[in-house]
Amino acid sequence: MSSGVLIYDISNPDAPVKVANYAPTNSLDMEDAKVSNGIGYFASNNGGGVHIVDLSDPTHPTLITRITAATGGYDYIHNVAIDGTHLYFPNYAPFGSPAVQVWDVSNPKLPFLIRTIMTTDPKFIHDLTVENNRLYTAGNGGKTDIWDVSNVDTQVPVLLGSINSGIRTASAVPSSDGNFLFVTRELFNFAGDLSVYDISNPASAQLAYRTTGAPLGLDATSAFQPKVVNNLLYLTWDQAGLVVFDIANPASPVLIGNYDTWPAAAGGSLFDGGWGVYPFLGQDRILVSDRDTGLYILDATVVSAQPALLNFTAMPNAVAGSTSINATAYLVGRAPPGGLLVNLASDNPAASVPPTLMIPAGASSGTATVTTTGVTAVTSANLTASYSGRSKGTILTIKPDYPSSVKFSPGSVVGGLNTTGTVTMAVPAPVNVLVALSVSSGGSAVASIPASVTVLAGSSTANFVISTNTVAASSSVKISASANGTVATGTLTVTPNVPSSVNFLPASIIGGASSTGTVTLGAPANSATAVTLSVTLGNSAVASVPISITVPAGLKSTSFTVVTNPVASKTAIQILAAANGGSRTGVLTATVNTPTSVGFVPSSVIGGASSVGKVTFG
């Protein structure tokens, strides 16, 4: 926090009283605080190291000493763990490493470094936990380690196992019996997850369970900090506050409680909301910190596996009229034998729902179909789910039919040619829909486009023709289609009219002979187009080739003559044709002029007579 460490008297949890604020000017950003035997260990995230503070009088916190880089520690500390007289902390970003230091704090005035543990993470350690002589480290680079630190004073810790837990691993805590590990990852776009690993054999940990917030009905981005008390897992979840799981079966957690500390809408790129949780003072005073809204003291004695309504969502929450979508009711707990009926309602006939939704026995959610009708203006419907005196609502926005995509065939066209565009609506049009068309970028490559196109009633698509101009370089053209307040955009590529092929007839000739070459453009030339020719391979075999040729307007190709020289061996001649910034090559083969036949006249003579022989070359 940016105010240092605030200290509250919570002897009356209904009326907490702030009694002190430990706020050193050089270390206001305190990310973690642990207290043991009247001594506070405060982690400074902005370069202040670890502050060791005397809290024997909580109203007057007094700095005893600091552990920083200058004293052999680290300056940037995100989290600390205290285990008896041992203090553990990692080397956090921005200058982090996979290292974790262990300090002896039996005398808080004179702490000393016992050893440094190099974990297996490729980046740095985000959080760490020490329980029952085991150190659990959660690495930002995707490694979660389990170390035996039972003799950390005198022996090098032993790596018991390492888990590939995934990038941005945030925290890891074990179950009470040490056989399971609860691991969270802090990810953007609602991708943060909770994983449960079976670590009964730490050297071969097995994934037993994994979930993001969505399957639980949580509108939140990321699981963050877990804590375990007996068979309950307390977990802060960004933008969802505190969630509580029954982990009697750790491989199948059951969500049984939620207190949302985040009042705003959830956003996929934010880590606002629930931050830290401390459930070790009793279920009637669970401490939860929210990085935006402050400290909460929660009574969790009422949480149980009895089902209650948690959330009701429609996905997507904005649709074109005449579309059917799913709405899902989520529970804390699970439906009892025989299932559970949730009552549904809509305040707008444009969105109809069935009267009830059945959540099957043992399930924690159920889905119903929402059917919408066509509308002429944007309309909102409040959808409500109710169960056992508790209601949850969601707003569904129903839009008039709108363009969902614009595509082109072909998607890449030579300048001067036409292409066909297709506008696709979100649903078949209930009535004729006029769709306005416009060029939003790359207009110089467009010769003509209709101002609008009509999607006929009952149809989902309408086609239109775009005529393009010749271009000197490849151009990207964006075409927008708009109707009923919604715009869809498609991209068309217009390319220069460059040579597409160079061919020779015949393709193989005897050196000294001639061949006819043909250059073909990608499209008929709009105007006379000069094509330059050059020999890029086998130049000695070429007697003559024109420097340039012209493709007449309206034609795609033109020809030229290549005269070759005699060659001593078979030679490949490569000729390049270039125009409008593009080029193609063709290959002509020149062969050696070798004898093709030997004949005699007469072919039969009387011995002593003579005959004339004739050698013929190719």
CA dihedral 240, 244, 246, 250 (to 10 degrees): 70
Q: How far apart are CA 240 and CA 230, in angstroms?
A: 23
* Other beta carbons within 10 Å of 505: 11
* Confidence (pLDDT) at 468: 93
Q: How far apart are CA 449 and CA 462, in angstroms?
A: 14
Q: In terms of domains, do 296 and 204 share one?
A: yes
Q: How far apart are CA 150 and CA 142, in angstroms?
A: 25
Position 263 confidence tier, pLDDT thresholds 50, 70, 90: confident
Do 234 and 226 form a contact (C-beta atoms < 8 A)?
Answer: yes
Position 613 confidence tier, pLDDT thresholds 50, 70, 90: confident
The reply to whether 174 falls in a domain is yes
Do 284 and 203 form a contact (C-beta atoms < 8 A)?
Answer: no
Q: In terms of domains, do 490 and 532 share one?
A: no
Q: In terms of domains, do 128 and 247 share one?
A: yes
Q: Residue 270 pLDDT more than 80?
A: no
pLDDT tens by residue, 541-591: 999 999 999 999 999 999 999 999 999 999 999 999 999 989 999 999 999
pLDDT tens by residue, 394-424: 999 998 989 999 999 999 999 989 999 999 9
Tell me which of 448, 475, 495 is where a domain ends: 495
Q: Residue 109 pLDDT more than 80?
A: yes
The reply to whether 159 falls in a domain is yes
Tell me which of 433, 464, 495 is where a domain ends: 495
Torsions phi, psi for 529 (to 5 deg): -120, 120
Vertex 509: Cα angle to 503 and 513 (nearest 5): 110
Q: Residue 1 pLDDT more than 60?
A: no
* Confidence (pLDDT) at 268: 62
Question: Which of 293, 301, 200, 302 is CA-nearest to residue 251?
Answer: 200
Position 269 confidence tier, pLDDT thresholds 50, 70, 90: low
* Confidence (pLDDT) at 258: 93
The reply to whether 65 falls in a domain is no
Q: Among 31-40, 254-263, 377-386, whose mean pLDDT is lowest?
A: 254-263
pLDDT tens by residue, 63-102: 999 999 999 999 999 999 999 999 999 999 787 899 999 9
Position 181 confidence tier, pLDDT thresholds 50, 70, 90: very high
Q: In terms of domains, do 524 and 454 share one?
A: no
* Confidence (pLDDT) at 189: 86
The reply to whether 513 falls in a domain is yes
Do 65 and 72 form a contact (C-beta atoms < 8 A)?
Answer: no
Return the CATH number at 138.
Answer: 2.130.10.10
* Confidence (pLDDT) at 427: 86
Do 84 and 97 form a contact (C-beta atoms < 8 A)?
Answer: no
Q: In terms of domains, do 251 and 164 share one?
A: yes
Residue 472 vs residue 328, higher pLDDT: 328
> Which are the contacts of 12, defined by CB distance < 8 A and separation ≥ 6?
none
Q: In terms of domains, do 520 and 448 share one?
A: no
> Which are the contacts of 585, defined by CB distance < 8 A and separation ≥ 6?
502, 536, 574, 575, 576, 577
Q: How far apart are CA 595 and CA 8, in angstroms?
A: 108
Q: How many domains does the chain have?
A: 4
The reply to whether 612 falls in a domain is no
Return the CATH number at 390.
Answer: 2.60.40.10
Q: How far apart are CA 143 and CA 137, in angstroms?
A: 8
The reply to whether 604 falls in a domain is no
* Confidence (pLDDT) at 602: 87
Q: In terms of domains, do 331 and 249 share one?
A: no
> Which are the contacts of 350, defined by CB distance < 8 A and separation ≥ 6?
321, 372, 373, 375, 379, 381, 398
Cα 531 to Cα 113, 174, 332, 475, distances in angstroms: 77, 74, 74, 21
Return the bridge partners of 366, or none: 329
Vertex 131: Cα angle to 125 and 137 (nearest 5): 15
Q: In terms of domains, do 467 and 388 share one?
A: no
pLDDT tens by residue, 303-314: 887 899 999 999
* Confidence (pLDDT) at 71: 96
Q: Is the four-CA dihedral 162, 168, 174, 175 of positive or negative sign?
A: negative
Position 357 confidence tier, pLDDT thresholds 50, 70, 90: very high
The reply to whether 9 falls in a domain is no
Q: How many CA atoms within 13 Å lie on the side-chain side of 38?
A: 9
Size (the chain), residues:
618
Q: In terms of domains, do 259 and 297 share one?
A: yes
Residue 503 vs residue 603, higher pLDDT: 503
Q: How far apart are CA 103 and CA 87, in angstroms?
A: 5
Q: In terms of domains, do 277 and 131 share one?
A: yes
Domain span holding position 463: 403-495
| pLDDT, the chain, mean | 94
Q: Is the four-CA dihedral 59, 60, 65, 69 of positive or negative sign?
A: positive
Question: Which of 453, 455, 460 is CA-nearest to residue 479?
Answer: 453
pLDDT tens by residue, 433-454: 999 999 999 999 999 999 999 9
> Which are the contacts of 401, defined by CB distance < 8 A and separation ≥ 6?
320, 321, 322, 374, 425, 426, 427, 429, 430, 433, 455, 483, 484
The reply to whether 596 falls in a domain is no
Q: How far apart are CA 319 and CA 395, in angstroms?
A: 11
pLDDT tens by residue, 368-396: 999 999 888 889 999 999 999 999 999 99
Q: Residue 219 pLDDT more than 90?
A: no
End-to-end CA distance of the chain: 92
Q: In terms of domains, do 194 and 241 share one?
A: yes
Tell me which of 468, 495, 522 is where a domain ends: 495
Q: Is the four-CA dihedral 82, 84, 85, 86 of positive or negative sign?
A: negative
Q: In terms of domains, do 508 and 359 share one?
A: no
